[in-house]
Structure 1
Amino acid sequence: MMSRYTGLSLQNEAEQIRQSIQDILTTPIGSRIMRRSYGSLLPQMIDAPFNDVTKLQLYAASATALIQWENRINIESILIEQLDQGRFILELKLNIINSNQNESLSIPLNFGAIS
């Protein structure tokens, strides 16, 4: 797999999974032509107030998308923190199935025109 930032090959499976998770969660469902069900509901929730109800919906949307689209992992825990409007950090504790290795990933989730 190639890095979307550098164009170089990603050697580490954890880095490949990190990039894949970021792609899954930031892709709106219905936006891929040949894979309409690919992605997550997270982009639709970007303007929702960041309260307990929304947090619960974000956890559910994240877990559902990752269970469906990333079969190389087992999720142990998910934590989402809002940095500011439109920017979140997803903290994942997971197990990589092939190597039975536990990983903690911190994945930035940026939506909209924020970079």
Structure 2
Amino acid sequence: MEFLGKGWSFPPTFNKSRGGVRISEGVEDIKESLQILLSTRVGERVMLPSFGCNMDDLVFENVDISLKTYLADLVETAIIEYEPRIELDAVVINTADQYEGVVLIEVQFTVRATNSRFNFVYPFYQKEGADQ
């Protein structure tokens, strides 16, 4: 699976027993890269200013068909541009828990090198976390 890449785990964690940073490889590395891509604001990275999505701009928007379509397009565009290891099959916006302040973004993809299908679910929170 080395051909799929490897890198620091996200979030970065350290091995106390062996020392050093935990490394993620293969599909795990791809899923962590998707997590980073979807949680980064456009312009946040100095050397790659168009990297990311501006999903936090949508926090207070009403969840309707227009927002779902825009959100899916935003995610699709970012993945097609910045994750060449996968073929994007679908982006599904799940609004079943929208009244709890959560919209789930399911990314269905195929790893180009192995032709294996996977999915990744990114929770987009519309409300701040609080004890209930």
Output the TM-score relative to the length of structure 1: 0.83
Give % identity: 21
Superposition map of 1:1-115 within 5 A: 1-5=7-11, 7=13, 8-11=22-25, 13-82=26-95, 83=97, 84-85=100-101, 87-110=102-125, 114=129
The one of the two structures with greater contact order (alpha-carbon pairs below 8 A, sep at least 6) is: 1
Q: CA RMSD in A?
A: 2.2
Structure 1 CA distance, aligned partners of 2:74 and 2:107?
A: 14
Q: Name stretches of at least 5 consecutive residues in structure 1 with no aligned partner.
A: none
Preserved contact between residue 85 and residue 111 of structure 2 (Cα < 8 Å): yes
Q: Name stretches of at least 5 consecutive residues in structure 2 with no aligned partner.
A: 1-6, 14-21
Computing the radius of gyration from Cα coordinates, the structure with the larger value is: 2
Output the TM-score relative to the length of structure 2: 0.74
Question: Relative to structure 1, is the Cα distance of residues 22 and 112 closer, same or farther in structure 2, using a 3 angstrom cutoff?
Answer: farther
Preserved contact between residue 80 and residue 88 of structure 1 (Cα < 8 Å): yes
The alignment of Structure 1 onto Structure 2 pairs a total of residues equal to 113
